[in-house]
Amino acid sequence: MNMVELRHISKRFGPVQALADVSILLEGGQTHVLLGENGAGKTTLMRILYGMMRPDRGTIWIDNKEVQFKHNRDAIACGIGMVHQHFMLVENMTVYENIAVGFEDEKGLALDKHKMLHKITCLAEKLRFSIDPLAMVRDLTVGEKQRIEILKTIYRHSKIIILDEPTAVLTPQEAEVLFDMIQILKEQGTSIVMITHKLKECLKIADRISVMRDGRMVAANMENKDLTPQELARQMVGRNIPLNDTRRSQVISEEIAVKVENLNYTVGGKKVLDNIHFHIAKGEILGVVGVEGNGQRELQEVLSGNLQPDTMELQLYGERVRGDTRAMIDRGIALVPEDRLSAGLVPSLDICENVVLGYHRAGKFATGFGLLRLKQWKQFAREAMEQFAVKASSIHVPIGSLSGGNQQKVILARVLSRKPRFAIFAQPTRGVDIGAIHNIHSRIFEYRDMGSAALVISADLDEVRALADHLIVMYEGKIVADGKSDDFTELELGMLMLSGRREKEGF
Ligand SMILES: Nc1ncnc2c1ncn2[C@@H]1O[C@H](COP(=O)(O)OP(=O)(O)O)[C@@H](O)[C@H]1O
Ligand SMILES: [Mg+2]
């Protein structure tokens, strides 16, 4: 197979035009990245190529011959394989059963278990990893399961493998392993189509890049040279957006807003937070850098009153603060939580209700009589929606139907419009579209520029570096480095995150 082409594909789901006249050319021996924000139509387009869906209009061509796929069996027979975002493995079966069962093209092979096991081991070796074909799928890590899915497509002689957002479920280290495997596959003559919305990885591995937006192909088959992240972001979003816009504080004051000392928290004899101490000035953003699981989550929970530490002295503008979540909110500490749906929002309630959630007993919403209060709620929600650029048709739309970015803006609106004296932002843009990321970062900068103090905790190193004036690095519950953001290089921070040291041992 040298060439796969989708021509003028359209597909509608009820009122949603998921694809409108989309064409793409996939040449053999290449890694082609299909880039676009959530809902752009990437998965739908590739499901059509994989024979899982029929287009309303448009045609599929392989080596200049038109093909008709009525079922994904037809696509598989033409050498097309797909690894879905949610794996389709049977957890309670072995690796070899998942790979081989249901694929009986070679006479007898499917029945000859010994040969089958041998073939799987050989295929894995070719991709330079080892796997026990008799292992149960449920015992594998996410990365291993993904490799089994890829192996399965190879076993079925795929010449072109579609990977739908393969890095979404992986750690950065596992993603590197995947990228190496993609390289090996390419060297062996397999073409890859990788769907993603991440610019960095797109530029890293693509030979060709196609960008989709709102069901249309914005730019197809671009060569990955001379392309910048800025240019790709503009195509994805449809307007210019600065990436990792860095604005250092011009308003840092001498006055200490937040002071944390002697913070210790132990779980089962293990120190999760080990003598943590820092301070944040008025008008300053402090960033917490670290590989997830090094105490950041506990830090955010302690500071927002959700978790009681063994010891801590917390001062806000010179006053001692202690107590539970209620007490913390009353003293002006606010948390923009990491898990929007479980800790922040109620999906079935509308925007208006979510905006006032958690504050409805306080301040102007608690006084007055029913009707008046309701009117104030609505007015407040409308203003917040406008100020935070929440995209929705009205304040009565259930929050669960909004995109991740818009949900996050509702939370920011709720938290920041109360003008807290100290705000904690935990993973503020996780799962958020890049257009919304810029908006959220701007709101955080504005909050700081009013002279407030902020703590930003994020697993995204680029994000923390862009936002924070000052950084602390956490490693195994301790602060292992502390300094101005601009005084650290990316490499230094990487080293500190991974080893707790600034340089490799022996240097
Ligand atoms: N099976 C479906 N039924 C109804 N709407 C769908 C279905 N699949 C996708 N859509 C809609 O089509 C649009 C494109 O979705 P999708 O192809 O999943 O985008 P992407 O993969 O780029 O995030 C979205 O608005 C989505 O809600
Ligand atoms: Mg998708």
Asked if residue 469 has pLDDT above 50, the reply is yes
| Structural domains present in the chain | 3-237 (3.40.50.300), 256-499 (3.40.50.300)
Is 60 exceeded by the pLDDT of residue 505? no
Q: Is the pLDDT of residue 171 over 80?
A: no
Answer whether 18 contacts ligand 1 (Cβ < 6 A): yes
pLDDT at position 106: 55
Ligand nearest to the CA of 213: 1
Q: Atom 4 of ligand 1 has which residue's CA nearest to it?
A: 13
Gap between the Cα atoms of 59 and 49, Å rounded: 10
| 406 CB near ligand 1 (under 6 Å) | no
Confidence of residue 506 (pLDDT cuts 50, 70, 90): very low
Please give the number of the atom of ligand 1 that sits closest to the Cα of 212: 22
Q: What is the pLDDT confidence band of residue 155, given thresholds at 50, 70 and 90?
A: very high
How many Å lie between the centroid of ligand 2 and the Cα of residue 136?
Answer: 28
pLDDT in tens, 291-322: 888 999 999 999 999 999 999 999 999 999 98
Q: Where are the alpha helices (DSSP H) in 213-272?
A: 229-237
Q: How far does residue 82's CA lie from ligand 2's centre (Å)?
A: 13
CA-proximal residue: ligand 1, atom 8 (nearest): 44
Task: Pick 414 or 344 by higher pLDDT.
Answer: 414
pLDDT at 114 over 50: yes
114: Cβ–Cβ under 8 A, 6 or more apart, which residues? none
310 to 216, 279, 313, 363, 490: CA distances (angstroms): 55, 19, 11, 33, 34
Would you state the pLDDT for residue 507? Answer: 42
Across all residues in the chain, what is the average pLDDT? 90
CA dist 378 → 41, 69, 351, 374 (Å): 34, 51, 10, 6
Q: Give the position, in ligand 1's atom list, of the atom nearest the Cα of 40.
A: 22
- For 331-345, 388-402, 442-456, which range has the lowest pLDDT when averaged over its residues? 331-345
- Ligand 1 atom nearest to CA at 42: 22
Q: What's the 319 CA to ligand 1 centre distance in angstroms?
A: 51
With a cut of 80, say whether residue 115 has pLDDT above it.
yes
Pairwise pLDDT comparison (180 vs 323), residue with the higher score: 180
Q: How far is the CA of 34 from the centre of ligand 2 (A)?
A: 10
Cβ atoms within 10 Å of 72's Cβ, excluding its own: 17
Distance 339 CA to ligand 2 centre (A): 21
Mean pLDDT of the 368-372 span:
53
Ligand 1 centroid – CA 213 distance (Å): 12
Question: In what side-by-side order are the strands of the sheet with 319-320?
Answer: 270-281, 256-267, 311-316, 319-320
Residue 406 one-letter amino acid:
N
Q: Give the pLDDT band (50/70/90) at residue 360.
A: low
**What is the spatial distance between Cα 344 and Cα 49, in angstroms, rounded to a whole number?**
39
